């Protein structure tokens, strides 16, 4: 049976079961609007979905019921026994039809015209049903009819017609052939993200995934799936983990025994354990559509927000992965989708110009391969421009020109995974603040996954993510080094190399004292596990064992004493104190009952400073520093203080630097003013604030200002009418750097002293100056 229909059935039947209870509740409290609303929603969902799936008869019935319910919900009709009966008949009819759907994948021939008619009549306020009969047996003890005087005395005729009609089947339906969606409801069932209804389109929703093993024949779907607590599943998963360990121990023991029945029994145990493990793991599996379902809507909203046109395509929605991983992938995927819309897909005009359709396409793919889940998010947008990335990196001082020359285009593209690296030209409210891709990368690596990207300029970008199926039990390679066993997760494993005795002395070469191995013509950095872990080599073997590992994009060879075998191991966390050691991901218990540590390949790479990886970290650190420096950087205006001292004025509050002729100065009261851009600009002379403080012989030289005598330099603060000008003798320079106040203030108007360009410079107290200028600003305003 179609997965969608199966989900529809599970959901609808579950909803209907609750309806029975709710009707009973309503009877006790007919005014309960909440219950009415929830009944309405259930029926509405059924109607919407079956309209979408093409179950016309079912939809008709549900539609009639929904109309009636909506009036009840809005308080336009009172809930009466008669209505209750009619609605319960409707529920029964729906249930019958759902049964039909389950058997035949069609909703049957019966169209329930009588029921629909009754529902419609009740909706129109009529209680006009002519033939009186006994009250519906479904309702049990009659409710006092006080709430609905009009309909009270009229008993329900409905039950009978419904059942008899069913028996004497097909009188041709008065409705038009309903395989095509009836117009009035079309809007409500369109699966497009535009749906105006408050409910998400039910098809997109998944309940606790029905077991796909359920035989389509015998038991009803409602009976074949149950909801289970996640903690219970977690517990089962742990127990299975223990069982796997016990199994491993028994297997190890039995191979030493020459006891055929024991051997056979233990092999059976082994098989059953494996199957059980797989089964339990499957209970925790959920289709990725659980998180994907919301993306069409997200994309639509985002695209609208930045006036782009984007459509979403999904492949492999049914790909399953562990529930905890699904949760962990939610944020990274959302981020990637946002990025693709905001940065990836171009504006419609730009797309047209590039010869692409105006509507961009976002493709989400998921599939299983090699015991891992692969997820790809691609857009057909502009792609990453390595040249742009390069100049950005240079501009931010992340890389030197030398380094840049040695980097490949792909290296530049991968720089987007660095913290704080954003290529968006402007920051939008969606993205572009330069936080994000590094977080995405960290989040994915935290769950043992890797992310990479492919991009072609003008063609689009694809992000490729690989994550393990589950976290609790992983296949691992067991190795021995320094007399201890260690487990290496197979996710990171690429290949094993054995260097035999003759090549032993030549195989490993050195690049500036860093060991490397030539692997098919390429240099592979070599890390000695014993050295990294400070273990003493115990092996006397004359071969070298190299385990080729991969973390992110980086490959390296790990030299170990001995390679044992592969095993399924149960990952157990380490104590807090030990979690600080980056080279271990956890521990596990081996078949002989001893504990073995699980190596964290990324941690080892970092510890060993595998080339590119440490570069990444250096870059990130440099970037951080650069940003911090930027934050502290100040721009200062250097002017000549009265006398020949130097004064620094923070540039931030300065709006303009102007030069006026001295004869432009006019007077307003006792203040010098000047006409400036249609307003009056009050002037304050610097030497009025800072008294002249110089010895006579210096005064003698001081007259030699470079500025012409009839010109004056004015620093304009503020904007609009609220401006004030500071008259200085001479503007010397503008400097930008991180400045440290070296000395305290020695007089008013000065905050402290700095050393700029090797000269002691006083820092102007801009705060007190602006306070002093405040009354003058008022003057300018009045004028």
Partner 1 sequence: MADEQQLCTFFLDDRFFGVSVENVQEVIRYLPITPVPLAPPVIRGLINLRGQIVTAVDLRRLLQLADRAADLRPMNIVVQTREGIFSLLVDRIGDVMGVDPACFEHPPDTLDGIARELIQGTYKLQGRLLLTLNVAKLFRPNILNRGAERQELDGQSEPAPV
**Which residues contribute to the site for partner 1 (CB under 8 A)?**
242, 245, 482, 484, 528, 530-531, 533-537, 572, 574-578, 580-581, 583-584, 587, 589, 593-597
CB nearer partner 1, residue 589 or residue 690 = 589
Q: Residue 577 Cβ, how far from partner 1 at the closest point, in Å?
A: 5
Q: At what angle do helices 33-53 and 81-104 cross, to 10 degrees?
A: 30
CB nearer partner 1, residue 560 or residue 649 = 560
Q: Residue 587 Cβ, how far from partner 1 at the closest point, in Å?
A: 5
* Other beta carbons less than 10 A from residue 242's beta carbon: 11
CB nearer partner 1, residue 482 or residue 752 = 482
Find out whether 388 and 396 touch, Cβ atoms under 8 Å.
no
d(CA 61, CA 133): 23
CB nearer partner 1, residue 573 or residue 743 = 573
Q: Residue 480 Cβ, how far from partner 1 at the closest point, in Å?
A: 12
d(CA 573, CA 247): 21
d(CA 343, CA 441): 18
* Other beta carbons less than 10 A from residue 325's beta carbon: 22
Q: Decide the pairing of beta strands 522-528 and 646-650.
A: unpaired
The closest of 104, 107, 317 to 216, measured between CA atoms, is: 104
> Coil, helix or strand for 59?
helix
CB nearer partner 1, residue 508 or residue 583 = 583
d(CA 321, CA 469): 5
> Coil, helix or strand for 203?
helix
Q: Residue 534 Cβ, how far from partner 1 at the closest point, in Å?
A: 5
d(CA 448, CA 442): 10
Q: Residue 592 Cβ, how far from partner 1 at the closest point, in Å?
A: 9
Cα torsion at 446, 450, 455, 460 (round to 10°)?
Answer: -70
Q: Residue 585 Cβ, how far from partner 1 at the closest point, in Å?
A: 13
For residue 80, give both structure tokens: 């009466």
Find out whether 94 and 58 touch, Cβ atoms under 8 Å.
yes
Q: Residue 580 Cβ, how far from partner 1 at the closest point, in Å?
A: 8
Polymer length in residues for the chain: 783
d(CA 297, CA 309): 13
d(CA 637, CA 769): 15
Q: Please tell me what DSSP assigns to residue 100.
A: H
For residue 616, give both structure tokens: 């990444």
CB nearer partner 1, residue 471 or residue 535 = 535
d(CA 101, CA 4): 12
CB nearer partner 1, residue 365 or residue 572 = 572
CB nearer partner 1, residue 409 or residue 484 = 484
CB nearer partner 1, residue 249 or residue 428 = 249
- Which distant-in-sequence residues (6+ apart) come within 8 Å of 272 by Cβ? none
CB nearer partner 1, residue 592 or residue 781 = 592
d(CA 720, CA 731): 23
Q: Residue 502 Cβ, how far from partner 1 at the closest point, in Å?
A: 24
CB nearer partner 1, residue 101 or residue 533 = 533
Q: Residue 407 Cβ, how far from partner 1 at the closest point, in Å?
A: 32
CB nearer partner 1, residue 242 or residue 278 = 242
Q: Residue 599 Cβ, how far from partner 1 at the closest point, in Å?
A: 10
Q: Residue 399 Cβ, how far from partner 1 at the closest point, in Å?
A: 31
The closest of 28, 2, 24 to 203, measured between CA atoms, is: 2
d(CA 400, CA 390): 10
Q: Residue 319 Cβ, how far from partner 1 at the closest point, in Å?
A: 33
Q: Please tell me what DSSP assigns to residue 142.
A: P
Residue ranges with strand state E in 532-645: 544-551, 554-560, 562-570, 584-589, 595-599, 634-640
CB nearer partner 1, residue 590 or residue 754 = 590
Q: Residue 322 Cβ, how far from partner 1 at the closest point, in Å?
A: 22
- Which distant-in-sequence residues (6+ apart) come within 8 Å of 445 by Cβ? 451, 552, 602
CB nearer partner 1, residue 282 or residue 485 = 485
d(CA 387, CA 364): 27
d(CA 106, CA 58): 10
Find out whether 376 and 464 touch, Cβ atoms under 8 Å.
yes
The closest of 136, 128, 143, 130 to 159, measured between CA atoms, is: 136
CB nearer partner 1, residue 209 or residue 598 = 598
Q: Residue 575 Cβ, how far from partner 1 at the closest point, in Å?
A: 4
Q: Residue 531 Cβ, how far from partner 1 at the closest point, in Å?
A: 6
């Amino acid at each position: 049976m179609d997965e969608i229909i199966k989900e529809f059935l599970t959901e609808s039947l579950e909803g209907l079961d609750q309806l029975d209870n709710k009707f009973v509740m309503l009877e006790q409290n007919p005014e309960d609007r909440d219950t009415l609303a929830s009944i309405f929603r259930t029926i509405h969902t059924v109607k919407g979905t079956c309209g979408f799936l093409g179950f016309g008869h079912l939809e008709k019935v549900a539609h009639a019921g929904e109309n009636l319910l909506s009036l009840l919900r809005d308080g336009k009709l009172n809930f009466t026994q008669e209505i209750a009966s009619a609605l319960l008949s409707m529920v029964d009819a729906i249930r019958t039809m759902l049964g039909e759907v389950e058997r035949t994948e069609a909703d049957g021939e019966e169209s329930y015209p009588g029921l629909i008619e009754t529902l419609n009549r009740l909706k129109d306020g009529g209680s006009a049903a002519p033939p009186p009969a006994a009250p519906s047996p479904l309702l049990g003890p009659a409710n006092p009819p006080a709430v609905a005087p009009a309909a009270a005395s009229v008993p329900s005729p409905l039950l009978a017609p419904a059942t008899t009609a069913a028996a004497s089947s097909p009188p041709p339906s008065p409705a038009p052939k309903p395989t095509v969606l009836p117009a009035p409801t079309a809007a409500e069932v369109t699966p497009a993200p535009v749906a105006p209804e408050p409910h998400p389109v039910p098809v997109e929703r998944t309940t606790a995934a029905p077991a796909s093993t359920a035989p389509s024949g015998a038991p009803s779907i409602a009976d074949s799936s149950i909801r289970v607590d996640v903690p219970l599943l977690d517990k089962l998963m742990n127990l299975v983990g223990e069982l796997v360990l016990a199994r491993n121990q028994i297997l190890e023991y039995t191979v030493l025994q020459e006891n055929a029945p024991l051997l056979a029994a233990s092999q059976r145990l082994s098989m059953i354990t494996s199957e059980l493990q797989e089964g339990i793991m499957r209970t925790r599996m959920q289709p990725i559509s659980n998180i994907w379902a919301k993306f069409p809507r997200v994309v639509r909203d985002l695209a609208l927000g930045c006036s782009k046109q984007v459509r979403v395509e999904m492949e492999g929605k049914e790909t399953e992965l562990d529930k905890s991983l699904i949760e962990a992938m939610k944020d990274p995927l959302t981020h990637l989708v946002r990025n693709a819309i905001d940065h990836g897909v171009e504006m419609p005009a730009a797309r047209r110009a590039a010869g692409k359709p105006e509507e961009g396409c976002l493709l989400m793919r998921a599939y299983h391969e090699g015991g891992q889940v692969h997820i790809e998010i691609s857009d057909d947008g502009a792609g990453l421009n390595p040249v742009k990335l390069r100049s950005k990196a240079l501009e931010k001082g992340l890389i030197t020109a030398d380094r840049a020359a040695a980097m490949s285009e792909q290296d530049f593209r991968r720089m987007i995974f660095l913290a704080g690296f954003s290529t968006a030209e402007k920051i939008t409210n969606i993205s572009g603040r330069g936080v994000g891709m590094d977080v995405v990368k960290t989040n994915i690596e935290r769950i043992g996954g890797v992310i990479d990207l492919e991009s072609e300029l003008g063609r689009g970008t694809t992000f490729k993510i690989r994550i393990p199926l589950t976290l609790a039990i992983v296949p691992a390679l067991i190795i021995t080094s320094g007399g201890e066993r260690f487990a290496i997760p197979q996710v990171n494993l690429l290949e094993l190399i054995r260097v035999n005795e003759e090549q032993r002395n030549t195989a490993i070469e050195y690049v500036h004292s860093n060991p490397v191995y030539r692997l098919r013509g390429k240099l592979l950095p070599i890390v000695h596990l014993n050295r990294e872990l400070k273990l003493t080599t115990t092996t006397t073997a004359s071969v070298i064992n190299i385990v080729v590992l991969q973390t992110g994009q980086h490959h390296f060879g790990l030299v170990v004493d001995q390679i044992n075998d592969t095993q399924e191991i149960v990952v157990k966390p380490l104590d807090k104190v030990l979690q600080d050691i980056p080279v271990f991901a956890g521990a596990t218990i081996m078949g002989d009952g001893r504990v073995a540590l699980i190596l964290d390949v990324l941690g080892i790479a970092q510890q060993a400073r595998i080339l590119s990886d440490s570069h990444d970290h250096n870059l990130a650190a440099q970037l951080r520093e650069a940003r911090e420096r930027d934050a502290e950087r100040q721009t200062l205006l250097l002017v000549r203080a009265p006398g020949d001292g130097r004064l620094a004025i923070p540039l931030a509050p300065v709006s303009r630097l102007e030069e006026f002729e001295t004869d432009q100065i006019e007077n307003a009261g006792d203040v010098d003013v000047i006409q400036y851009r249609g307003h009056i600009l009050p002037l304050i002379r610097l030497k009025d604030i800072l008294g002249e403080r110089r010895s006579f012989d210096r005064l003698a030289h001081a007259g030699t200002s470079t500025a012409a005598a009839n010109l004056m330099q004015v620093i304009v603060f503020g904007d609009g009418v609220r401006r004030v000008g500071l008259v200085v003798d001479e503007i010397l320079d503008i400097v930008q750097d991180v400045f440290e106040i070296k000395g305290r203030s020695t007089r008013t108007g000065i905050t402290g002293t700095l050393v700029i360009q090797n000269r002691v410079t006083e820092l102007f107290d801009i705060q007190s100056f602006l306070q002093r200028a405040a009354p003058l600003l008022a003057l300018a305003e009045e004028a």
